[in-house]
Amino acid sequence: MKNQTRRGFIRSSLLGGAGAMVFPHLLPSHLWAAEAKPNSRLTMGFIGMGTQSRGLLRSFLGQDTRVVAVCDVDTTRREDAKRRVDDFYAAQKTGGAISGGCAAYNDFRDLIARPDIDAVCIATPDHWHAIITLAAVRAGKDVYCEKPLTHNIHEALEVMVAVQENKRVLQTGSMQRSMSEFRVACELVRNGVIGKIQGVECSFGNPPIPCDLPEEQMEPGLDWNLWLGPAPVRPYNSILSPRGMHKGFPHWRNYAEYGGGMVTDFGAHHLDIAQWGLDMDASGPVQVLPPEKAGDKKGAKLVYANGITVTHGSGFSVDFVGAEGRVQVGRGKFIFERDGKTIAAYRDKGEEDTSLKEQLQIAREGYLKDAKVKLYHSENHPADFLKCVQSRQAPITNEQIGGRSVICCHLMNLAYAHQQKIGWNPEKLQFAKGSGEPKWLTRDYRRPWKV
């Protein structure tokens, strides 16, 4: 099959139409996946070495991997990451030091060009996710990419197709699917324990705002042009990229040029759980509604074909409300009510005589022992990725799941931005007839970058 013909087949299979594939529980990355890798140590490179990546680096170093390269446009972060990798291997009793030490790059393209690297971990600002992911999969690398998977809908579609076209394994960093409280909550919902779902509330922060930060003097050691990449030129401001090592999460994510506000930042977690609980991993909403009052930062709604509405609320949890009960779940939080009674509850580790594990066990033992729906079980997100790289199976948040979940986030942001009802076709992954505008799907890319 010629490349273009094959690409067209993959695209039409993913996006619907005659002969479109049926999506099983494990979405079909593995249908075109490469041969299973021999049981050997995976060679990895890391791109983006901020706070999030430091945690990921610790996790991957503790598993059967070999980290040989790191990349960051900030000299201090880049050199710190190299030092930590070198120190880790130097401390191994078996003698694991890398000959010449871990390589450190300013430009991700130099890292991706290395033929010895099997997989990359991408933890850059959101506006870089798709470009680096596409470059990596086209170079034959498997990818662990932080959430949200992309900066816009067009990028999501391109990533979904490219991963399959190039027979790669991709894990989106929406790691709540690898946390027991979210899996148990979704199994209760999927097995009908709380009855027919009446609605879902996903609580997280606000949509993005335009970047109008004033220019600050920049110390040497940061490649600001490469940090901006495909985004429009803006003057340096430390709010976007604090120099050197720090423990916080920079606020570039609040600005539309680089992220999608909290709607993509934590919506990529909570809306992903809503999709999982509603059994919509292979589908999505058919309509998105803006808040009732123009200018409100909460209240947008995703409406599904079955009538279920997912509402953007205040707080930090996912609340499934059914005809016979309710399940509210957050990180370290789990409340399960049925027939007006609280069955299991864990709200705060500082105020409880029980444990989250005990309360989840109560729910499992009482209502899920003979459950027909058993969801993908992962306890460790990076480990699940590594397992799937070896087996060539689709991981728990593969590119289809990550792509469709981030599309939910982008649709919600579009409703806030344009203050209008938007129709969506989740089979064809395009605006419904007469709804939306093509330019809303993408962005203007600063040359030479494009998707």
Q: How many domains does the chain have?
A: 1
Residue pair 258/125 in contact (Cβ under 8 Å)? The answer is yes
In this predicted structure, what is the pLDDT of residue 246? 79
Examine residue 339 and state whether it is found in any structural domain, yes or no: no
In this predicted structure, what is the pLDDT of residue 35? 57
Examine residue 233 and state whether it is found in any structural domain, yes or no: no
Spatial CB neighbours of 426, under 8 Å, sequence gap ≥ 6: 280, 283, 284, 285, 286, 305, 404
Examine residue 13 and state whether it is found in any structural domain, yes or no: yes
* Coil vs helix vs strand at 109: helix
Q: Which residues pair with 302 in a beta bridge?
A: 288, 310
**pLDDT tens digits, 210-256:** 999 999 999 999 999 999 999 999 999 999 999 878 778 899 999 99
The conformational region for residue 44 under phi > 0 = left, psi -120 to 50 = alpha, else beta, is beta
In this predicted structure, what is the pLDDT of residue 26? 40
Domain around 159: 3-177+381-398
The conformational region for residue 429 under phi > 0 = left, psi -120 to 50 = alpha, else beta, is left
In this predicted structure, what is the pLDDT of residue 247? 79
**pLDDT tens digits, 73-86:** 999 999 999 999 99
- What is the spatial distance between Cα 323 and Cα 286, in angstroms, rounded to a whole number? 23
Question: Cα angle at 47 between 42 and 52, to 5 degrees?
Answer: 100
Examine residue 62 and state whether it is found in any structural domain, yes or no: yes
| CATH number of the structural domain spanning residue 47 | 3.40.50.720
Examine residue 286 and state whether it is found in any structural domain, yes or no: no
In this predicted structure, what is the pLDDT of residue 93? 66
Examine residue 363 and state whether it is found in any structural domain, yes or no: no
- Total length of the chain: 451
Examine residue 150 and state whether it is found in any structural domain, yes or no: yes
Residues in the chain with pLDDT values less than 70: 1-39, 93-99, 350-352
Identify the burial level of 103 via C-beta atoms within 10 angstroms of its C-beta, where 0-12 means exposed, 13-18 middle and 19 or more buried: middle
Examine residue 220 and state whether it is found in any structural domain, yes or no: no
